[in-house]
Amino acid sequence: TPALTQPPRPLGHWDMTMTDYDAYNALWSDAVFMFPFNLSGLPAMSLPMHWTADGLPVGVQLAGRAGDEATLLRLATQVEAAQPWIDRRPPICV
């Protein structure tokens, strides 16, 4: 699944002026694909597989069988070897 329902939010989107209700609803709408795995306890991870025109990562979420984190880690190692992202940094990163 995609990691988020849209590209990463711009810097400053999340701030202390949001009400708890608005922040909660925004979080649910952005990360809806993550919650089933968080609630079920199944292992899952997000890998940066694409970059927006602004240089922000777009993640793909991989999920595995209960107790089988090792398979996910092996898969992530292979994906990173095929499409390295170690030197990819958003423009704001220092």
Q: How many whole angstroms separate alpha carbon 7 and alpha carbon 62? A: 17
Q: How many whole angstroms separate alpha carbon 64 and alpha carbon 72? A: 6
* pLDDT tens column, 41-90: 999 999 999 888 888 888 999 999 999 999 999 999 999 999 998 888 76
* pLDDT tens column, 18-34: 888 888 887 778 888 88
Q: Which residues contact 41 (CB under 8 A, 6 or more apart)?
A: 66
Q: Which residues contact 1 (CB under 8 A, 6 or more apart)?
A: 33, 60, 61, 63
State if pTM tops 0.75. no
